[in-house]
Structure formats: C-alpha cells, structure tokens
Chain A
Amino acid sequence: MAREASAEEGRAKTLLEIRGLRATAGGKEILKGIDLTVRAGEVHAIMGPNGSGKSTLAHVLAGREAFQVTGGQVIYEGRDLLAMPPEERAREGIFLAFQYPVEIPGVSNMYLLKAALNAVRKHRGLPELDAIDFLALVKEKMKLVEMDDALLNRSVNEGFSGGEKKRNEIFQMAVLGPRLAILDETDSGLDIDALKTVAKGVNSLRGPERAMIVITHYQRLLNYIVPGTVHVLHNGRIVRTGGKELALELEAKGYAGVEESVRGSRQAAPPR
C-alpha cells in the first residue's frame, strides 16, 4: 500500500526530507527517529494518539526553541532546515497553522499579516506591497475561508472563537502562500460546518508546487482534506505508512488495534 502511494506521486521534486530525526523537550525524548519524505504537490497526513509526538514534529520543523533536536537531519529544498532560525524557515516558505493560535493584544490582524507578508516578500527579492495592493489581496483570500471582514481589524486572535482562530490560520496561509504548509490539528475545536469551510479553504490552496503535512487525531478531517499518504505516529516513531484507506482502518480498529498489528508484524518481519 505504501509503495502504491509513493509510486502515484511519482517523480515530483523532493521538498522535505527528514532522516532519523530525534528531539527532546525538558530532557524527555519525544521524537525517536522520524523518517519522512515529502515531494511537491503531495499531501501527507500524520495521525497518532495523544502524546505520540505529532505536534512536537510540527513545532520542530517550524523551529521552536523549546524543543532540542538531538539527532538526525532535515533537508528542505536542498538546505539544512535545522540550521535556520524560525523566521528564515517561514520566509523560505514553511507555514505552521497552529493548533492553539496565539492572541496578541493591541496588534491588528491586518498589521501582523502585512508585516509578515512584506518580510517574506523582501526575503524573496520582491517589492513590498503597499496598503492598496495588500488590501486587494486580503479581500480575495478572505473569501476562501469565508472570513468576516471585522476580524481583520481586531487584535490578532483576541476574543476570536475557536472556529475563527482556525479560519484565521488558513487565511494567513492563503495570503502568505507557503511551499510547505503544516496543519497542526486544524480540526480540533471545530464543528462540522466550520470544518467543511476550513477544509474547503485548504483544498483551494492545494497545487503541484505546494505540499502539506496535515496532523490530526481523527479521521474525520481526512474526509474533507484527502491525503495521498497517511502515516501513523506512535511513541515518537512512524510505525505505519499507507494510502488514505489507512485512516479508515484506524477509524475502525482504533490506534490500539493498529499498534497490535504493528507489534505483530514487527515480530514476524525478517531482520533488514
């Protein structure tokens, strides 16, 4: 099944290559050797029970300093990702949609986004957008996630509902136009209507040049954002990789069931 998925994705350019990635937080090892290759145009889902290391992986890729990388390497577009500070990763096209978007009182949503977009554009040698062009871009992208105009001038995420926060993340992603988007439990806290809207926004951003890593606890999201590949993360390692039907198997058997089969298959497998 795994082979089938990667064959289908063919010869597209490799965007991200993770090899033997290990990371700790507060002295505790959370990632225990992750291997993952993501090519342009692909959508990978990473599923796993609570505490398996899903969010840690997302944050390590984005460069959060609270986690220490203790081993392995990450190559992004041919460069050593782990050597870059978070802002450089962002400017190089890595976007993390946060599970818990942060509130910044007194800073308008628009202001942050304009500063961010212009930082990214400057890095890429593009001229800064003026207020008029920026507003036009913003209006266009807001439609993708059906976001309320009023949220633009409110302080970043302050007083936003759970759904509004998640929409705002996808809206920011639409404006910044990343090459690799990491969606960290974007479905958590969303009702079914909001989930559909957010998924629609995400799907509209799929394209041959862009890759996505969708992190989720539940299969539900994957009904709307259909991945090419599904990975199961358990105890800091990817223990299964398969096509989108793996998510359904998880749904039916639960993580415990899949872990059983992993353990079983490991024992049976011949040594490499």
Chain B
Amino acid sequence: MTSARTIRELTDKDYKYGFVTDIESDTIPPGLNEEIVRLISAKKGEPEFMLKWRLKAYRHWLTMKEPTWANVHYPAIDYQKISYYAAPRSKADGPRSLEEVDPELLKTYEKLGIPLQEQKALAGVAVDAVFDSVSVATTFKEKLRELGIIFCAFSEAVREHPDLVEKYLGSVVPYNDNFFATLNSAVFSDGSFAYIPKGVRCPMELSTYFRINAADTGQFERTLIVADEGAYVSYLEGCTAPKRDNNQLHAAVVELVALGNARIKYSTVQNWYPGDRQGRGGIYNFVTKRGKCLGADSKISWTQVETGSAITWKYPSCILQGDNSVGEFYSVALTNNFQQADTGTKMIHIGKNTRSTIISKGISAGHGQNTYRGMVKIMKGATGARNYSQCDSLLMSDTCGAHTFPYVEVKNSSSRLEHEASTSKIGEDQLFYCRQRGLSTEDAVNLIVNGFCKEVFRELPMEFAVEAQKLLGVSLEGSVG
C-alpha cells in the first residue's frame, strides 16, 4: 500500500517542461478556407506545384470525415477555431546563423536541456529545430553538404530542391491518404527534409527537436527523408511542449523512402504535454508516419518511445515493396493519468522474401488507456514473406487499460507469421524483492519498467536511450496501484 502511494506521488509530479516563451508570433487568424491555404503557400514563397498540391488536398479534405475507429475519446475538434500558421515574428526571413536566432528561443531550448550551442559540439548531432512552425536553426549543414547530403527545413527544400520534393512528396503518404494526413497536406507549415545521395553513409545522427509554443496553434509538420541507393541515415525526432490549458492538435506527416539497399533508422522520443492529472489540456497527436522500402534489400526501422500527449494516434508503417526488404517497428507507449494511446504499425509485404519485426511494449498507469493496433498484410506476390510480432502490456494500476488489436491478412501461402502477446501487472512481489535488496520504490519501478522495455531501448541510439529511460522515470512518477 505504501508503495502504491509512493508511485502515485511520483506520477503526480508536474510536467517538467511546462512553460511559455514570450515571443511575438506572426499568427494568421483562426479558420480554414482556400484563402488561408493560398496565404500559407504565399507566405512561404512556394512554387506553383506546391500550391496546386495543397489545394488538391484541401478540396479532398472537405469531402472526408474524421475517423472514429480508434479506441480514443475526445470532444469534437472545431477546425475553424484553429490558427493554421504561426511563425516567430522577429526573424521572418529565417536566421542564417545561431547569432541571428531570437535569444528567447535559445533560452527555451536551454530550459529543455538542449542548448543548441552545446549541441553543436555534442556527439555530432545536427539539429533542425522546429519552434512553432518555422525552422529557426540548422547546424552542421555545411559539413553535410560536402557529402552531398541535404538536411534542411522543408520550406527551404521546396524552394531549393523542388525537383526532389515534387518527385517524392506524397509518394508514400498520398494527399488523400486519411483525414489528418490530408489536412496536413493542405496546411503544413514546415518540417524537415533530408536526402542522402547514392552510397553515402550519413556520418551523424540527424535530429529535430519539435516544440509547440503559440497558444491554440495547430502544428502541421511535414517530414520527408529519402535515402538513395546504398545510403544510410539515422534520424532522431524528440519533442517536448510547454504547458497549455487548451488542447492542441498536432497532425504531422512523415514519409520515408528507401531505394535499393538503403537503410533508414527513424527514432522518436515523444513527450508532448499530456494534460494534467484530471485529464485537462494536453496535445492531440494524430500522426501519419510511413516508410516505403522501394528498392530491393532496403530496410526501414521505426523506434518510438511515446510518453506524452493526451491522445496518441499513430501507426509508423512500412511498405515492403522491394524484394528482400526489411521493416521493423519497436515501440514503447506509456499512458498515465487520463492519457489515451492507440498506436501500432502496419507492415505491408509486397516484394518476395520481405521480412518484418514488430515489438510493442505498452505501459498503462493511472486511468491511462493503451491500445496496440497492428496490421500485417502479405500480398499475393510476397513469396517467402515472414513476420514476427510481439505485443506486451504492463499494467501499473487497477484503473488503467490495455487493449490489443492485431490484424492479419495473408494472400500468399508460403509466408510465415508469428504472434506473441502478454499482459502483466507490475508485481507487488517484484517491487518487494527489489526493495528488500535496498532499492527505493521509485527506483524499483524504474528498474522493472525499463527491464520491460529493454528490447525497444536497445534499438535506440545511445544518447537517446539514456534520455528515454529518464523520461520513462519522470512520466511514471507516482503510478502503481
């Protein structure tokens, strides 16, 4: 009982990153119509093809209905009350160097423990930081450019590399894919773009820190990563958001394209503001992430640690089109208090001898609801395809929930699929065992939960794994019952 109380106290700690930076935002009034879409495109000085694409998406979006199949519940979103564009006003043109960056912004990052200045030196991580909707600082760009690697803000890519953008944008997540992705296609403000040329191994982890700041501003990022033949890239995405009372919509799209023999590793630590203990506030995280193994022998790996957001709706998926291509999905999703997560993956096997692995770890605490939803689809031509799925759930209280919805569709009889699932409650006996050896309840909970997640954490790049473990500790503060 004492341990239950301790765990609750731990979980009740305030969101560490809840603060607001006082920066003037160049925000367009709330509402959505064709004029707004044109305005966004004009503000970014986009070429004609981009505007056409946005308008096509917007018109299609008008015909779509918000999906209701996910196991999440939230009040109806009024899309006319959202402001679709906010940019820090002080440098509308975008800074050329760190010196040009608004010092308020830099302070915000420092509070988050990710000072850009230090990051430059740290571990060779190039950071394309999204603050609200405009990228404000890009480092290491020169070094990457020498190798022919393009890593820049999406809006810059639209201007500087329109051919690449036009070729790959929407090639994995089409403009009419789903309600939120289509909305994103119409109004996306910025994001990241990376292109790794043939045979180049990106020498550093590419990284973006996202952060929502302006109140009531939906954030619609778009990320596109293309690894050309034989290329390799590891991409890190991490986010924290300041405290807010109103729910904020976050509908991002990430597209990955791996050509022949290319490898893309995409890692996420997601820590958007989850709402308070009563479930007020918090981010709605409705994200479409998908990768396409276009060429033979290519590989795409998704690793995610999802601890934040009031609602998470997210299925990083792989289309295994090239023969012998490999898709992987490693996930830790944690829901505490009144958080809801409906997350998982889709593995679509099209090419011969394609292989996929799914490892999903769901942790539910407080009143959190955690749903794994995954689909493995073996198409007719996918001779010799294989899949291994493992879904484990850990319950930390009597009031939380874990749900698993695995879908399987097989059209080729030579394929092999394995599925394992388990649900366990964090054991009073495990906690007592650790405490009898001298560990505090808090340390015991962290130890047990991190052990549960180990198979996923070991897929994360080192520095991210450390961060993820810490984050899990902070997010679980106070949560066994």
Say if A and B assemble together: yes
Contact B454 A176 (CB under 8 A): no
Q: Looking at the complex, which of B52-60, B128-136, B436-444 is the stretch in contact with chain A? A: B436-444
- With A85-B2, A86-B432: A104-B438 Cβ-Cβ less than 8 Å: no
Q: Looking at the complex, which of A45-53, A62-70, A205-213, A258-266 is the stretch in contact with chain B? A: A62-70
- With A86-B436, A104-B430, A105-B452: A112-B447 Cβ-Cβ less than 8 Å: yes
B261 vs chain A, min Cβ distance (A):
33
What is the CA–CA distance of A87 and B445 in the complex, to the nearest angstrom? 13
Tell me the residues in window 128-186 of chain A with beta carbons closer than 8 Å to chain B beta carbons. 155, 172, 176
In this complex, how many residues of chain B approach chain A with their Cβ under 8 Å: the count is: 26
Given the complex, which residues of B lie within 8 Å of A172, measured CB to CB?
Answer: 437
- With A107-B447, A107-B450, A112-B447: A96-B436 Cβ-Cβ less than 8 Å: yes
- With A87-B439, A116-B437: A106-B432 Cβ-Cβ less than 8 Å: no
For B428, B436, B448, the residue with the greatest tally of chain A CB atoms inside 10 Å of its CB is B436
Contact B433 A98 (CB under 8 A): yes
Q: Tell me whether B455 is interfacial, beta carbon within 8 Å.
A: yes
Q: Tell me whether A120 is interfacial, beta carbon within 8 Å.
A: yes
Given the complex, which residues of A lie within 8 Å of B434, measured CB to CB?
Answer: 104, 112, 116
Which 3 A-B residue pairs are closest in the complex by CB-CB distance? A106-B451, A107-B451, A106-B454
Partner of A91 from B433, B438, B454 at Cβ < 8 Å: B438
Q: Tell me whether B203 is interfacial, beta carbon within 8 Å.
A: no
Q: Tell me whether A253 is interfacial, beta carbon within 8 Å.
A: no
What is the CA–CA distance of A89 and B3 in the complex, to the nearest angstrom? 15
B253 vs chain A, min Cβ distance (A):
33
Q: Tell me whether B201 is interfacial, beta carbon within 8 Å.
A: no
Contact B452 A90 (CB under 8 A): no
A118 vs chain B, min Cβ distance (A):
9
Contact A65 B2 (CB under 8 A): yes
B66 vs chain A, min Cβ distance (A):
38
B426 vs chain A, min Cβ distance (A):
11
Tell me the residues in window 5-51 of chain B with beta carbons closer than 8 Å to chain A beta carbons. none
Give the B-binding residues of A (Cβ under 8 A).
Answer: 62-66, 85-87, 89-91, 95-96, 98, 101-102, 104-107, 111-113, 115-117, 119-120, 123, 155, 172, 176
Known A104-B447, A112-B434, A176-B438; 11 more pairs at CB < 8 Å: A62-B436, A65-B1, A66-B428, A87-B440, A90-B438, A98-B436, A106-B451, A107-B451, A115-B439, A115-B447, A116-B434
Given the complex, which residues of B lie within 8 Å of A155, measured CB to CB?
Answer: 451
Partner of A116 from B2, B439, B451 at Cβ < 8 Å: B439
Given the complex, which residues of A lie within 8 Å of B432, measured CB to CB?
Answer: 62, 64-65, 86, 102
A108 vs chain B, min Cβ distance (A):
8
19 sampled A-B residue pairs with Cβ under 8 A: A62-B436, A65-B428, A86-B432, A87-B438, A90-B437, A102-B429, A104-B447, A104-B451, A107-B454, A112-B434, A113-B437, A115-B439, A116-B434, A116-B437, A119-B437, A119-B438, A119-B440, A120-B438, A155-B451
What is the CA–CA distance of A120 and B440 in the complex, to the nearest angstrom? 11
Partner of B433 from A63, A89, A104, A123 at Cβ < 8 Å: A104
A200 vs chain B, min Cβ distance (A):
23
Contact A115 B435 (CB under 8 A): no
Contact A106 B427 (CB under 8 A): no
What is the CA–CA distance of A104 and B443 in the complex, to the nearest angstrom? 14
A59 vs chain B, min Cβ distance (A):
8
What is the CA–CA distance of A95 and B2 in the complex, to the nearest angstrom? 20
Q: Which residue of B lies closest to A107 (CB)?
A: B451
Q: Which residue of B lies closest to A91 (CB)?
A: B438
A100 vs chain B, min Cβ distance (A):
8
- With A65-B1, A90-B438: A106-B433 Cβ-Cβ less than 8 Å: no
What is the CA–CA distance of A201 and B243 in the complex, to the nearest angstrom? 56
B420 vs chain A, min Cβ distance (A):
13
Contact B436 A106 (CB under 8 A): no
What is the CA–CA distance of A85 and B448 in the complex, to the nearest angstrom? 19
Q: Which residue of B lies closest to A108 (CB)?
A: B451
What is the CA–CA distance of A86 and B443 in the complex, to the nearest angstrom? 13
What is the CA–CA distance of A119 and B452 in the complex, to the nearest angstrom? 22
